Amino acid sequence: MDKPIVIELRPRDEFWANAFAVEWKAQFPDRLLLPDGHRRFLADPAWVPDIERVAKQCFSSIIRAPESPQRRAWMKLFSPIDYFK
């Protein structure tokens, strides 16, 4: 894996968050997404197009998180919905 990036999943609800995890494991069993907090994970940058495709299949979207944990916390202040409890 290249230098991993942090991806944040934004599903409609918990059902679709679980559906994303199931679909990812089914479609890409050899690609592990490493947890990095609630609905955040570390991923190989080359996988982003595949992650986006699976997210769309599960009525979800992804965003690339800032690399700094302090910056992520600061950015959450501007989010109208707390997706990352």
**Kind of pairing, strands 5-11 and 60-64?**
antiparallel
Query: How confident is the model over 29-59, as pLDDT tens digits?
Result: 999 999 988 889 999 999 999 999 999 999 9
What is the spatial distance between Cα 34 and Cα 75, in angstroms, rounded to a whole number? 22
CATH number for 5-76: choose from 2.30.30, 3.30.70, 2.40.50, 3.10.110. Answer: 3.30.70
pLDDT in tens, 53-85: 999 999 999 998 776 666 656 666 666 555 444
DSSP structure class, residue 62: E
| Alpha carbon 60 to its chain's center | 9
Structure tokens at 19: 């559906």
In the chain, where the domains are located: 5-76
